[in-house]
Structure 1
Amino acid sequence: MSSRYHAHDYFSGLLERKLGFSYSIDDILGSVRMFETKFNTFLTVESEYRISASLLISFNQLKNKNDVDIQTVTQDSSFNSLDFVGQLIVFVAKKINNLGALNSERIGQIEQFIFNQSHYPQVEHVNDFDFYCTVSHFLTLIGIDLGIDLQNDELLIDLLVSHLKSLINWDSDSFNANIAGPLGPQVKLIRQATTRSLNVIENFLHRPLSDSMVSSIVIHIAAAVLRNENKKTPSRIAIVCPGSRAMSEYLQEQIKNYFNFYVACSIQKNDFNFNDLETQHLDFVVTTVDLPQLTVPSVKVSPMLTISDINNIQAIAFKIQHDSKQNRKDNDALIQLVSPIVKSGNIRKMEIIYNQTVRLLKEFENSEYQTAMSSEILKIMPMQFIRIESRSLSWKDGIKAGFTDLVENNLVGPSYVDHAIDNVEKYGPYIIINRGIALPHAESKDDVLEDCLSLLISQKGIEFDNNERVFLLFCFAQNSDIEYLRLFKEIMSLGNRQTEINRLIKSQTSEQAQRILIEMLTNYKNK
């Protein structure tokens, strides 16, 4: 009955009217979910529905019983002394303005009623650190699927964490992800990728996500994609549509309607030399005919775009990292730039270059020093806690090796390492927070003597059960109540610098690795 009754529909409304209920299932269920959000707790769906139904009956029976002294249950000290179900009862009563009918005896009676119905709550306590790891891993998988970076968008992560913790009204919200226009094709791809990785979130929350929840997540991700695309230079494309000029122009208008592309040229002639496309600095080509093999990617479409065509265009656009290509510098570019001046023997120019280079190097050194002093990572991770591993390791052996220095220095005990491994076995590889980066940890403080962090650099990579490979394993343990979300975000940000991660992986000593890590974390200002 409880599973049928949880929704606000005709059946529940009729039942409430026939029984003369003053409170509705919406009142109770909404309050229960507010309790879950406030205390970072999740009930299984079945427990949530059954307990809400029991509370509905109990509170409607107590509606007119305002004859007791309620001070004993409203004071924080008394509230904190209650067990989980007792705290839930008081919280819900307060939200529906029915505290006047409660005292310690009646709280016990309601608890007993819940237990008599075999409604033992299956409770999951979570913390923000775990939430951030899970959401980051979720976005990493979607990003890999789409060929874009989502996990580095801090705003998106913050929004999704907040949204997922606030499950109060999601069942009644009506989200529609069927968006037309330029965002439409992206939304469809995003929804497909989101659905494929949805189990990461559902396993963590121990509850399935409704269509409304999924649509809301898709809208958040699509908005982030659009926000980031607006900051980029539009993809530069060519359109090849030999034959009718009208058809070529029509295809171009269709593309402009759906995508934010810069059309460098539109080719309508059959005798066009396609090798000339190589000189156009294109990101890719949209064509209605088969093309000879080019170095530029291409996608073949119909002159009248179909949904499949739109998806294929968007898929190739997603995979074009335009900014990284545009800003990539050749390693020898500086030498090539300065070499002619040196060879010319122009002393004045060389002196200016020398003085400016010395000035910049001093600024770099000062920036790196400030980073070493202020970095959340380096505050709790001394150089001796950086370990370089050249052997192939399983993910379990990798976690054990990563915590070795912390265990040997009596900062954590062996049981904490076991808890960290148990978490991965329970939730999956949610600790992978960015490409190639994982953050194993456990919530338990029982075997942690001091806040600490270590880094295992695996030169061959550590493979998890889903074929995800990790090269940097940051092993974290926390004993204090200090908020470490800034540490989490700093570790996650390292994924923005894949080229420098490759340098870090090739480190031969802990000292060299620490130096590269400082450089990766430093924000060099280009003046």
Structure 2
Amino acid sequence: MELDDRSKVIVDDLLSNPSVSSKDLEKKYDLTRRQLGYSINKINDWLKDSNLPAIERTRQGHFIIDQTVFTNLASELPKVLPADMNILSENQRVYMIVMMILSNEELSLFHFTSELAVSKNTILSDLKRAQEFVSDYNLTIRYSRRSGYLIEGKEFNIRKLLTNVISKLLDMKNGSDWIYKLANIQEYEITEINNRIDNVEKKLTIQFTDEKVAMMPFTLILVLERIKKGHIIDPFYIQYEELSDTKEYLATEEILYDLKDIPMEERMFITLYLLTANVYWSESLTEEAIPNLKQAIDDMLRLFEKRAIIFIQDREQLLNKLLLHVKPAYYRIKYHLNDVNDIQLTVSKEFMELHHLVQKSTEPLEELIGEKIPESETTYLTMLIGGWLTKQGESIQEKVKAIVVCPKGVSVSRLMFSELRELFPEFVFLDSLSVREFVNYKLDYDIVFSPVFLETDNRLYIASSFLEREEKIRLRKQVMLDFHGYIPSDINVDDLITIIKNNADIEDEQQLTKDLYRYIHRDDTAQVKNQRNDLPAASLDELIIPENITLKRSVSSWEEAIRIAANPLVESGHIKNDYVEAIISYYDKDPYIVIGPNIAIPHAAPDEGVNDVAMSLLRLEKGVIFTEDYSINLIVIIAAVDKQKHLKALMQLMKLAGSDEDRNAMIYADSREEIFKIINKYSV
């Protein structure tokens, strides 16, 4: 019997290195345990035909080979077993099949079996896997007698697939040789395109990464070949004005200088391809093509510094490094080409929390691009920032990491998170979570703050959802004493000044003393500022104005109560009817909107119909039933546009909710004015 290629290579490896294990072979040749077992059985059948002892496999995955096998096969092996044989995995055959279909016409099963040297059944199985692979791009593999195998779908998606497959093939051993062969590309074609790419790099005064330089000639040749065959890209939402002003558009013209019949859509696509290519180095980093990009990256870094309690050194250098990556990422994300880059990166355990904080800081970039930043891009940003911090000797791992677990709904949870972060500015606060989210939380943390008892191996501090000044002082003292062995309020400003004098020159001792005293004895109930524009957040009396207060004796249902309570905000244009329906849809999902006896704060997400920050109040003399547990007399509709603007008013409302006297006075008030007077008491 004749050995197949895979079995030949495996027996050669076994005879060359008898100590190799099953796992080593599986990993080396990308085989499953079953596939390796199948090959070992074939080898043993072949040895049996040659009257040689079988190769035994131990339970630990090692091999026992009789000396007669070595003696008898030593002279035969060079003739039978090619030393450079490359076993193809199933995935690699799929990429090859896709490449053949994309770059050739009238292909049949025979072409695949002869080119890949496998059986017809293997190819049929591979074609099924190829169909699964291309379906991720909304494409289909179809066979017809007249045209053979074709890939059908939008040309834009086919280009994305083509670029990804080229990348996959180049990752293989002898990958470029395979592309030459499968796509019928001549070496002189690659040389010509490489010369043009050299000119492009000089014209743009940039240097593409080695990976991109390897990919570009193959991609451009195959794209141009598809254009020749009439596979023109569909008109899509590339903005001509945005791309035609770039240096990359001029570079595209340089590449296509002698090709006159290339449609504008194709010129735009090639420009976009150059714009999305990763750059290793650039002589000049201007933002003419993408105004405000550098500012958005800087804003992202500032948010990250605040969340991670870190000061980034040599900031301008890191900004330029990030700009090199983010500029092509901007076009990848905006035009949905990020899977073309296909970065298969994973965050190491050391960087898990860092990655989480980077993800939470990308809002300025998302606003600029108008799209959510994909995981692959935030992973790369994490690696760049993490590497920079390591270089400057910083580590998130060394900092105290805290989470807040609150069962009382999104707004109350955010309020608690915000207050605790202000109270402990030296801690990294990772998340505010519901109890259910906490049960499955994966990140490492040191402290949990929660108003309820939780099962945890870490330190748990029970804290009210709304922290009064006295509780804040007590909590801070307790936590700092536990973690650092001192109580912060005992810090003496004069002692600090003496220490600073011994180690630094002080320009204005009087002003420094004032600033230190103000920081150490700061009022944690001070006015909440809007993070984005630094304007004071609205007070309770600025949001629940008399016009937004409705008095009713009773209502027939919770749904009716919501509609009546929200009506003033709908009429004034602060919210849409969609927001009211969204609140009602959460009826069964969020029982924790009840913030005190007889008072509830129903709300939904900002993107479900909020136009501007606002609140309204419905007072019912006879309470309405909410779930089986509560009778509600005071219903405050909250419409929040972000995480900050309503927090001050919410803090004041929570304080009001804690007063039995004022809460009952509102329930039994005779007029809006009486209720508004009570609201005024808490709006300071």
With structure 1 as the length reference, what TM-score do the two structures score?
Answer: 0.38
Q: Which has the higher contact order (CA 8 A, sep 6+)?
A: 1
With structure 2 as the length reference, what TM-score do the two structures score?
Answer: 0.31
Which protein shows a greater Rg? 2
